[in-house]
Amino acid sequence: MSTMYYDILNSISQNKKLLAVLIDPDKMTLNNISAFIDTVNKSKVTHIFIGGSTVNKNSTEELVSEIKKHTKLPLILFPGDVTQITKKADALLFLSLISGRNPEYLIGKQVEAVSKLRETTLEVISTGYILIENGKETSVQKVTGTLPMSRNNIQDIINTAKAGELLGMKLIYLEAGSGASKAITSEIISSVKKELNIPLIVGGGIRSKEQLDLAFDSGADLVVIGTAFEEDESFFEELK
Ligand code: 1GP
């Protein structure tokens, strides 16, 4: 039963906008979790995403178990690699890097993940992951050896997102990269959204309430913010 995905669809059908905080297991210490999640619980955040480009072995499982003690919010894995899959979470974004042309990140890692997924009851949500250039090399680029899509060729981005949908993917994620100096533009978000019949996630470089509202107004159904929360927890307050 894919509850998490249907909850997302349901929220969208009621015009509710969703906000995920991204927690990188390598940047969060277990000691700080209780206070951090307490702030998250009191904020507008609707989902907790967990993942990073490179994460120490076992740190994801320890972190997920600790977070679970402090919140009822859905915990969704957003894994940079197969080692970040843990049965302790609620769901997993099963990512395919469809902006790139590296077969390892289109299908190779996914095949590798299957034996691990078999041992879990995680809800698996197929997600087309599209990296858009932001002026600097991102860690996704380095790790995957792929190029991001040009932000000037919007038609190409639209076609890539639509191809993901036609392949049966359940979500499309437009990514500018963690800590990006340039977030995904309003024009890209609205153009992609117009053509899609599945929910649209947007993340990377969103650091203000204005940017968040702009992403939502342009058509993002779920926005992911990591760095801004990591750097300054008062940002949770600012979003109220
Ligand atoms: C990164 O989209 C997420 O994968 C969030 O990016 O850390 O820049 O908020 P930020």
Q: What residue ranges do the domains of the chain occupy? A: 3-238
Class of CATH domain 3-238 = alpha beta
Distance CA 235, CA 240 (A): 9
Cβ of 127 closer than 6 Å to ligand 1, yes or no, is: no
CA 128 to chain centre: 11
The confidence band for 131, taking pLDDT boundaries of 50, 70 and 90, is very high
Whether the CA torsion 138, 81, 127, 106 is positive or negative: it is positive
Mean pLDDT score, 211-229: 98
CA 102 to chain centre: 20
Mean pLDDT score, 196-216: 98
pLDDT of residue 109: 97
In this prediction the ipTM stands at: 0.98
Q: Could you read off the pLDDT of 2-30 as tens digits, one per residue?
A: 799 999 999 999 999 999 999 999 899 99
Residue 187 confidence (pLDDT) above 60: yes
Annotated binding-site residue? 53: yes
Q: Could you read off the pLDDT of 84-121 as tens digits, one per residue?
A: 999 999 999 999 999 999 999 999 999 999 999 999 99
Q: Could you read off the pLDDT of 73-92 as tens digits, one per residue?
A: 999 999 999 999 999 999 99
CA-nearest of 66, 79, 73, 68 to 32 is 66
- Concatenating the DSSP letter of every residue in 135-155 gives SS--HHHHHHT-PPBPTT-HH
Distance CA 41, CA 173 (A): 24
Residue 1 confidence (pLDDT) above 60: no
CA-nearest of 154, 161, 85, 90 to 129 is 161
Name the percent of the chain lying above pLDDT 90.
92
Q: Kindly give the distance from the C-alpha atom of residue 139 to the centroid of ligand 1, in angstroms, as a whole number.
A: 11
* Candidate from 76, 78, 225 with most ligand 1 atoms within 8 A of CB, to mutate: 225
| Ligand 1, atom nearest to 175 Cα | 2
pLDDT of residue 85: 96
Distance CA 218, CA 183 (A): 13
Name the percent of the chain lying above pLDDT 70.
100
